[in-house]
Structure 1
Protein backbone atom coordinates (compact mmCIF):
# COMPACT_ATOMS: atom_id res chain seq x y z
CA UNK A 1 0.00 0.00 0.00
CA UNK A 2 1.11 3.53 -0.67
CA UNK A 3 1.35 6.13 2.06
CA UNK A 4 -1.52 8.05 0.47
CA UNK A 5 -3.86 5.18 0.89
CA UNK A 6 -2.87 4.77 4.53
CA UNK A 7 -3.98 8.33 5.38
CA UNK A 8 -7.69 8.69 6.13
CA UNK A 9 -9.70 11.89 5.82
CA UNK A 10 -10.93 13.27 9.17
CA UNK A 11 -14.48 12.40 9.99
CA UNK A 12 -16.74 15.39 10.77
CA UNK A 13 -20.33 15.49 11.87
CA UNK A 14 -22.93 18.21 12.48
CA UNK A 15 -25.07 18.19 15.61
CA UNK A 16 -28.56 19.16 14.36
CA UNK A 17 -30.21 18.75 17.68
CA UNK A 18 -32.31 21.83 18.52
CA UNK A 19 -31.80 21.44 22.28
CA UNK A 20 -28.33 21.53 23.76
CA UNK A 21 -27.94 18.22 25.67
CA UNK A 22 -25.63 19.86 28.21
CA UNK A 23 -27.45 23.12 29.01
CA UNK A 24 -31.00 22.19 27.99
CA UNK A 25 -31.39 25.52 26.14
CA UNK A 26 -32.80 25.94 22.67
CA UNK A 27 -30.11 26.40 20.07
CA UNK A 28 -30.21 29.07 17.41
CA UNK A 29 -30.64 27.91 13.85
CA UNK A 30 -27.29 27.22 12.14
CA UNK A 31 -26.74 27.95 8.49
CA UNK A 32 -24.90 25.62 6.16
CA UNK A 33 -21.70 27.57 6.69
CA UNK A 34 -21.93 26.95 10.42
CA UNK A 35 -22.79 30.53 11.41
CA UNK A 36 -25.84 31.26 13.56
CA UNK A 37 -28.69 32.86 11.67
CA UNK A 38 -31.15 35.40 13.08
CA UNK A 39 -34.79 34.41 13.27
CA UNK A 40 -36.58 34.94 10.01
CA UNK A 41 -39.44 36.87 11.60
CA UNK A 42 -37.54 39.12 14.02
CA UNK A 43 -39.28 42.23 12.70
CA UNK A 44 -42.74 40.73 13.09
CA UNK A 45 -41.97 39.75 16.68
CA UNK A 46 -41.01 43.32 17.54
CA UNK A 47 -44.28 44.62 16.12
CA UNK A 48 -46.27 42.06 18.11
CA UNK A 49 -44.42 43.08 21.28
CA UNK A 50 -45.11 46.78 20.59
CA UNK A 51 -48.80 46.07 20.05
CA UNK A 52 -48.97 44.12 23.32
CA UNK A 53 -47.30 46.98 25.18
CA UNK A 54 -49.73 49.49 23.63
CA UNK A 55 -52.75 47.39 24.70
CA UNK A 56 -51.36 47.03 28.21
CA UNK A 57 -50.72 50.77 28.43
CA UNK A 58 -54.26 51.55 27.26
CA UNK A 59 -55.73 49.21 29.87
CA UNK A 60 -53.65 50.72 32.67
CA UNK A 61 -54.58 54.24 31.54
CA UNK A 62 -58.29 53.33 31.55
CA UNK A 63 -57.92 51.84 35.06
CA UNK A 64 -56.21 55.02 36.27
CA UNK A 65 -58.92 57.23 34.77
CA UNK A 66 -61.65 55.12 36.36
CA UNK A 67 -59.96 55.28 39.78
CA UNK A 68 -59.54 59.05 39.43
CA UNK A 69 -63.24 59.49 38.61
CA UNK A 70 -64.29 57.25 41.51
CA UNK A 71 -62.09 59.21 43.90
CA UNK A 72 -63.50 62.53 42.67
CA UNK A 73 -67.05 61.24 43.17
CA UNK A 74 -66.11 60.01 46.63
CA UNK A 75 -64.71 63.41 47.60
CA UNK A 76 -67.84 65.19 46.34
CA UNK A 77 -70.06 62.76 48.25
CA UNK A 78 -68.06 63.21 51.46
CA UNK A 79 -68.14 66.99 51.10
CA UNK A 80 -71.90 66.95 50.46
CA UNK A 81 -72.52 64.73 53.49
CA UNK A 82 -70.30 66.93 55.63
CA UNK A 83 -72.20 70.07 54.57
CA UNK A 84 -75.55 68.39 55.28
CA UNK A 85 -74.36 67.36 58.74
CA UNK A 86 -73.17 70.90 59.51
CA UNK A 87 -76.41 72.48 58.26
CA UNK A 88 -78.48 70.00 60.28
CA UNK A 89 -76.53 70.82 63.44
CA UNK A 90 -76.90 74.56 62.85
CA UNK A 91 -80.63 74.22 62.17
CA UNK A 92 -81.09 72.26 65.39
CA UNK A 93 -79.36 74.98 67.43
CA UNK A 94 -81.27 77.80 65.72
CA UNK A 95 -84.58 76.01 66.25
CA UNK A 96 -83.94 76.03 70.00
CA UNK A 97 -83.54 79.82 69.85
CA UNK A 98 -86.83 80.56 68.06
CA UNK A 99 -88.61 80.88 71.43
CA UNK A 100 -86.08 83.55 72.45
CA UNK A 101 -86.75 85.43 69.22
CA UNK A 102 -90.49 85.28 69.92
CA UNK A 103 -89.92 86.79 73.37
CA UNK A 104 -87.82 89.54 71.83
CA UNK A 105 -90.54 90.25 69.26
CA UNK A 106 -93.12 90.62 72.03
CA UNK A 107 -90.78 92.90 73.95
CA UNK A 108 -90.24 94.95 70.81
CA UNK A 109 -94.00 95.22 70.23
CA UNK A 110 -94.40 96.61 73.76
CA UNK A 111 -91.63 99.16 73.22
CA UNK A 112 -89.15 97.50 75.55
CA UNK A 113 -86.42 97.32 72.89
CA UNK A 114 -86.44 100.95 71.82
CA UNK A 115 -83.32 101.63 73.87
CA UNK A 116 -81.18 100.18 76.58
CA UNK A 117 -78.79 97.22 76.86
CA UNK A 118 -81.49 94.68 75.96
CA UNK A 119 -81.89 96.30 72.55
CA UNK A 120 -78.19 95.84 71.85
CA UNK A 121 -78.35 92.16 72.86
CA UNK A 122 -81.42 91.58 70.68
CA UNK A 123 -79.83 93.27 67.66
CA UNK A 124 -76.60 91.28 68.02
CA UNK A 125 -78.48 87.99 68.35
CA UNK A 126 -80.62 88.70 65.28
CA UNK A 127 -77.56 89.72 63.25
CA UNK A 128 -75.62 86.59 64.27
CA UNK A 129 -78.49 84.27 63.33
CA UNK A 130 -79.04 86.03 60.03
CA UNK A 131 -75.33 85.65 59.25
CA UNK A 132 -75.67 81.89 59.77
CA UNK A 133 -78.54 81.79 57.26
CA UNK A 134 -81.71 82.28 59.31
CA UNK A 135 -84.51 84.16 57.52
CA UNK A 136 -87.86 85.24 58.90
CA UNK A 137 -91.03 85.47 56.83
CA UNK A 138 -94.66 86.27 57.39
CA UNK A 139 -95.62 89.94 57.08
CA UNK A 140 -99.02 91.52 56.54
CA UNK A 141 -99.83 91.86 52.87
CA UNK A 142 -97.67 88.93 51.68
CA UNK A 143 -99.40 86.44 49.36
CA UNK A 144 -100.59 83.38 51.25
CA UNK A 145 -98.41 80.31 50.63
CA UNK A 146 -99.59 77.06 52.25
CA UNK A 147 -96.03 75.71 52.16
CA UNK A 148 -94.89 78.60 54.39
CA UNK A 149 -97.98 79.80 56.24
CA UNK A 150 -100.45 78.08 58.54
CA UNK A 151 -103.83 79.81 58.33
CA UNK A 152 -105.94 79.71 61.48
CA UNK A 153 -108.64 82.08 60.26
CA UNK A 154 -109.91 83.24 56.89
CA UNK A 155 -112.00 86.18 55.76
CA UNK A 156 -113.37 86.90 52.29
CA UNK A 157 -113.85 84.78 49.19
CA UNK A 158 -110.28 83.53 49.08
CA UNK A 159 -109.56 83.96 45.35
CA UNK A 160 -106.45 86.07 45.97
CA UNK A 161 -105.56 85.48 49.65
CA UNK A 162 -102.95 87.53 51.47
CA UNK A 163 -101.79 87.67 55.06
CA UNK A 164 -104.07 89.93 57.05
CA UNK A 165 -102.83 89.12 60.54
CA UNK A 166 -99.52 87.57 61.59
CA UNK A 167 -99.78 85.88 64.97
CA UNK A 168 -96.35 84.24 64.84
CA UNK A 169 -93.48 84.72 62.43
CA UNK A 170 -92.14 81.88 60.39
CA UNK A 171 -88.46 81.02 59.98
CA UNK A 172 -86.38 79.12 57.45
CA UNK A 173 -82.75 78.11 57.40
CA UNK A 174 -81.48 77.96 53.84
CA UNK A 175 -83.98 75.79 51.95
CA UNK A 176 -85.31 74.23 55.17
CA UNK A 177 -88.47 75.60 56.80
CA UNK A 178 -87.91 75.56 60.56
CA UNK A 179 -91.34 76.86 61.50
CA UNK A 180 -94.44 77.89 59.55
CA UNK A 181 -95.89 81.33 60.13
CA UNK A 182 -99.20 81.38 62.01
CA UNK A 183 -101.46 83.79 60.15
CA UNK A 184 -104.95 85.00 59.43
CA UNK A 185 -105.84 85.18 55.73
CA UNK A 186 -107.94 87.83 54.02
CA UNK A 187 -108.74 88.89 50.48
CA UNK A 188 -106.05 90.62 48.49
CA UNK A 189 -106.33 93.84 46.52
CA UNK A 190 -107.54 92.02 43.41
CA UNK A 191 -110.35 90.38 45.35
CA UNK A 192 -111.31 93.68 46.96
CA UNK A 193 -111.38 95.43 43.57
CA UNK A 194 -113.43 92.57 42.14
CA UNK A 195 -115.84 92.72 45.05
CA UNK A 196 -116.16 96.50 44.72
CA UNK A 197 -116.81 96.19 40.98
CA UNK A 198 -119.43 93.50 41.56
CA UNK A 199 -121.13 95.66 44.21
CA UNK A 200 -121.11 98.68 41.91
CA UNK A 201 -122.55 96.64 39.04
CA UNK A 202 -125.25 95.28 41.31
CA UNK A 203 -126.13 98.81 42.48
CA UNK A 204 -126.34 100.03 38.87
CA UNK A 205 -128.60 97.13 37.96
CA UNK A 206 -130.88 97.90 40.87
CA UNK A 207 -131.00 101.55 39.89
CA UNK A 208 -131.91 100.69 36.29
CA UNK A 209 -134.76 98.47 37.39
CA UNK A 210 -136.35 101.21 39.47
Structure 2
Protein backbone atom coordinates (compact mmCIF):
# COMPACT_ATOMS: atom_id res chain seq x y z
CA UNK A 1 0.00 0.00 0.00
CA UNK A 2 2.84 2.34 0.73
CA UNK A 3 4.34 1.75 -2.68
CA UNK A 4 1.06 2.50 -4.40
CA UNK A 5 0.59 5.69 -2.45
CA UNK A 6 4.08 6.83 -3.41
CA UNK A 7 3.32 6.37 -7.12
CA UNK A 8 0.27 8.65 -7.01
CA UNK A 9 0.81 12.20 -8.22
CA UNK A 10 0.54 14.91 -5.64
CA UNK A 11 -2.15 17.61 -5.92
CA UNK A 12 -1.01 20.34 -8.30
CA UNK A 13 1.56 18.13 -10.07
CA UNK A 14 1.30 18.39 -13.86
CA UNK A 15 0.81 15.15 -15.79
CA UNK A 16 1.83 15.40 -19.43
CA UNK A 17 1.07 12.75 -21.95
CA UNK A 18 2.15 12.53 -25.55
CA UNK A 19 -0.71 14.78 -26.67
CA UNK A 20 0.23 17.41 -24.07
CA UNK A 21 3.88 17.40 -25.16
CA UNK A 22 2.93 17.92 -28.78
CA UNK A 23 0.55 20.72 -27.88
CA UNK A 24 3.29 22.59 -26.00
CA UNK A 25 5.79 22.07 -28.80
CA UNK A 26 3.46 23.51 -31.44
CA UNK A 27 1.95 26.24 -29.26
CA UNK A 28 2.25 30.02 -29.84
CA UNK A 29 5.55 31.79 -29.30
CA UNK A 30 6.12 33.26 -25.83
CA UNK A 31 4.62 36.70 -25.39
CA UNK A 32 8.01 38.19 -24.51
CA UNK A 33 9.41 37.55 -28.00
CA UNK A 34 7.75 39.69 -30.73
CA UNK A 35 7.21 38.12 -34.10
CA UNK A 36 8.74 39.51 -37.33
CA UNK A 37 5.36 40.83 -38.51
CA UNK A 38 4.92 42.73 -35.26
CA UNK A 39 8.41 44.29 -35.57
CA UNK A 40 7.72 45.44 -39.16
CA UNK A 41 4.38 46.91 -38.16
CA UNK A 42 6.03 48.83 -35.33
CA UNK A 43 8.52 50.44 -37.74
CA UNK A 44 5.81 51.78 -40.08
CA UNK A 45 4.41 55.30 -39.50
CA UNK A 46 1.22 56.47 -41.11
CA UNK A 47 0.51 60.01 -42.27
CA UNK A 48 -2.00 60.29 -39.45
CA UNK A 49 0.77 59.50 -36.96
CA UNK A 50 3.01 62.25 -38.36
CA UNK A 51 0.25 64.86 -38.62
CA UNK A 52 -0.97 64.09 -35.13
CA UNK A 53 2.47 64.27 -33.51
CA UNK A 54 2.15 67.95 -32.55
CA UNK A 55 -1.36 67.45 -31.16
CA UNK A 56 -0.10 64.45 -29.21
CA UNK A 57 2.67 66.59 -27.69
CA UNK A 58 0.17 69.21 -26.57
CA UNK A 59 -2.11 66.56 -25.15
CA UNK A 60 0.82 64.97 -23.33
CA UNK A 61 1.67 68.30 -21.69
CA UNK A 62 -1.95 68.91 -20.71
CA UNK A 63 -2.39 65.42 -19.28
CA UNK A 64 0.99 65.24 -17.54
CA UNK A 65 1.15 65.15 -13.75
CA UNK A 66 1.72 68.49 -12.10
CA UNK A 67 5.36 67.77 -11.27
CA UNK A 68 6.11 66.92 -14.91
CA UNK A 69 4.03 69.70 -16.49
CA UNK A 70 6.66 72.44 -16.05
CA UNK A 71 9.43 70.17 -17.33
CA UNK A 72 7.51 69.41 -20.52
CA UNK A 73 6.78 73.10 -21.06
CA UNK A 74 10.48 73.90 -20.65
CA UNK A 75 11.34 71.20 -23.17
CA UNK A 76 8.92 72.61 -25.75
CA UNK A 77 10.30 76.12 -25.12
CA UNK A 78 13.87 74.92 -25.73
CA UNK A 79 12.79 73.17 -28.93
CA UNK A 80 11.13 76.36 -30.20
CA UNK A 81 14.20 78.47 -29.36
CA UNK A 82 16.48 76.05 -31.18
CA UNK A 83 14.23 76.09 -34.27
CA UNK A 84 14.31 79.92 -34.29
CA UNK A 85 18.09 79.96 -33.84
CA UNK A 86 18.57 77.54 -36.70
CA UNK A 87 16.35 79.62 -39.00
CA UNK A 88 18.19 82.85 -38.12
CA UNK A 89 21.55 81.17 -38.71
CA UNK A 90 20.50 79.94 -42.16
CA UNK A 91 19.14 83.39 -43.09
CA UNK A 92 22.33 85.07 -41.91
CA UNK A 93 24.44 82.62 -43.90
CA UNK A 94 22.51 83.48 -47.07
CA UNK A 95 23.00 87.20 -46.43
CA UNK A 96 26.74 86.81 -45.87
CA UNK A 97 27.08 84.71 -49.03
CA UNK A 98 25.24 87.36 -51.02
CA UNK A 99 27.47 90.08 -49.59
CA UNK A 100 30.60 88.14 -50.54
CA UNK A 101 29.37 87.72 -54.11
CA UNK A 102 28.45 91.39 -54.26
CA UNK A 103 31.91 92.42 -53.10
CA UNK A 104 33.55 90.36 -55.84
CA UNK A 105 31.13 91.64 -58.47
CA UNK A 106 31.69 95.29 -57.49
CA UNK A 107 35.42 94.87 -58.09
CA UNK A 108 34.68 93.66 -61.63
CA UNK A 109 32.34 96.50 -62.61
CA UNK A 110 35.10 98.87 -63.86
CA UNK A 111 36.44 96.05 -66.06
CA UNK A 112 32.96 95.46 -67.46
CA UNK A 113 32.69 99.18 -68.21
CA UNK A 114 35.98 99.05 -70.14
CA UNK A 115 34.71 96.09 -72.14
CA UNK A 116 31.50 97.97 -72.97
CA UNK A 117 33.50 100.96 -74.21
CA UNK A 118 35.77 98.72 -76.25
CA UNK A 119 32.72 97.07 -77.79
CA UNK A 120 31.22 100.47 -78.73
CA UNK A 121 34.49 101.44 -80.42
CA UNK A 122 34.58 98.19 -82.37
CA UNK A 123 37.61 96.78 -80.55
CA UNK A 124 35.89 93.50 -79.60
CA UNK A 125 36.16 91.85 -82.98
CA UNK A 126 34.38 88.49 -83.07
CA UNK A 127 36.89 85.66 -82.85
CA UNK A 128 39.65 87.83 -81.39
CA UNK A 129 41.43 87.03 -78.13
CA UNK A 130 40.01 90.14 -76.45
CA UNK A 131 36.44 89.19 -77.43
CA UNK A 132 36.98 85.68 -75.99
CA UNK A 133 38.24 87.14 -72.70
CA UNK A 134 35.26 89.50 -72.56
CA UNK A 135 32.81 86.61 -73.06
CA UNK A 136 34.47 84.57 -70.31
CA UNK A 137 34.44 87.47 -67.84
CA UNK A 138 30.81 88.29 -68.55
CA UNK A 139 29.97 84.62 -68.10
CA UNK A 140 31.61 84.59 -64.65
CA UNK A 141 29.66 87.66 -63.59
CA UNK A 142 26.41 86.13 -64.84
CA UNK A 143 27.06 82.92 -62.88
CA UNK A 144 27.44 85.01 -59.74
CA UNK A 145 23.85 86.11 -60.29
CA UNK A 146 24.67 89.69 -61.30
CA UNK A 147 22.17 91.35 -63.64
CA UNK A 148 22.64 94.48 -65.71
CA UNK A 149 19.76 96.83 -66.37
CA UNK A 150 18.75 100.11 -68.04
CA UNK A 151 18.11 100.41 -71.75
CA UNK A 152 17.21 103.40 -73.90
CA UNK A 153 13.43 103.65 -74.12
CA UNK A 154 12.76 102.25 -70.62
CA UNK A 155 10.59 104.26 -68.26
CA UNK A 156 12.64 106.33 -65.83
CA UNK A 157 12.52 105.02 -62.25
CA UNK A 158 14.24 107.27 -59.67
CA UNK A 159 14.54 104.26 -57.35
CA UNK A 160 16.80 102.48 -59.88
CA UNK A 161 18.15 105.15 -62.19
CA UNK A 162 20.30 108.18 -61.52
CA UNK A 163 19.41 111.06 -63.85
CA UNK A 164 22.49 113.05 -64.78
CA UNK A 165 20.66 115.22 -67.30
CA UNK A 166 17.05 115.94 -68.28
CA UNK A 167 16.34 116.71 -71.92
CA UNK A 168 12.95 118.26 -72.78
CA UNK A 169 11.74 116.21 -75.75
CA UNK A 170 8.65 116.94 -77.86
CA UNK A 171 6.17 114.09 -77.91
CA UNK A 172 7.31 112.69 -74.58
CA UNK A 173 4.47 112.21 -72.12
CA UNK A 174 6.43 110.69 -69.21
CA UNK A 175 10.09 110.60 -68.18
CA UNK A 176 11.89 108.07 -70.37
CA UNK A 177 15.51 106.97 -70.61
CA UNK A 178 16.99 108.71 -73.64
CA UNK A 179 20.58 107.47 -73.25
CA UNK A 180 22.40 105.15 -70.86
CA UNK A 181 25.66 106.70 -69.72
CA UNK A 182 26.58 103.94 -67.27
CA UNK A 183 24.91 100.53 -67.01
CA UNK A 184 23.33 99.61 -63.67
CA UNK A 185 24.01 96.32 -61.91
CA UNK A 186 22.16 94.42 -59.20
CA UNK A 187 22.62 91.14 -57.37
CA UNK A 188 19.25 89.80 -56.32
CA UNK A 189 17.73 92.59 -54.24
CA UNK A 190 21.13 94.24 -53.64
CA UNK A 191 21.82 97.31 -55.73
CA UNK A 192 25.48 97.15 -56.76
CA UNK A 193 25.34 100.35 -58.79
CA UNK A 194 22.46 102.50 -60.04
CA UNK A 195 22.27 103.18 -63.74
CA UNK A 196 23.32 106.70 -64.82
CA UNK A 197 21.03 107.94 -67.58
CA UNK A 198 19.91 110.91 -69.62
CA UNK A 199 16.17 111.35 -69.21
CA UNK A 200 13.76 112.63 -71.81
CA UNK A 201 11.04 114.71 -70.17
CA UNK A 202 7.92 116.36 -71.65
CA UNK A 203 8.67 119.66 -73.35
CA UNK A 204 6.84 122.69 -71.96
Is residue 2:147 matched to residue 1:135?
Answer: yes
Distance 1:92 1:55 in 2: 56
Distance 1:53 1:105 in 2: 71
SS at match of 1:156: strand
TM-superposed CA distance for 1:162, in Å, is 0.7
TM-score normalised by L of structure 2:
0.63
> Which structure 2 residue ranges, 5 or more long, are not aligned?
1-62
Among candidates 126, 129, 145, match of residue 117 of structure 1: 129
Q: How does 1:1-210 map to 2 (within 5 A)?
A: 54-115=65-126, 116-156=128-168, 160-187=174-201
Distance 1:114 1:54 in 2: 82
Distance 1:53 1:119 in 2: 74
What RMSD, in angstroms, separates the aligned Cα atoms of the two structures?
2.3
> Which structure 1 residue ranges, 5 or more long, are not aligned?
1-51, 196-210
Distance 2:121 2:129 in 1: 16
Greater Cα radius of gyration, structure 1 or 2: 1
TM-score normalised by L of structure 1:
0.61
- Range moving further from structure 2, 70-79 or 119-128: 119-128
Distance 2:143 2:95 in 1: 18
Could you list the runs of 4 or more consecutive aligned residues of structure 1 that deviate by over 3 angstroms after TM superposition?
none
How many residues get paired? 140
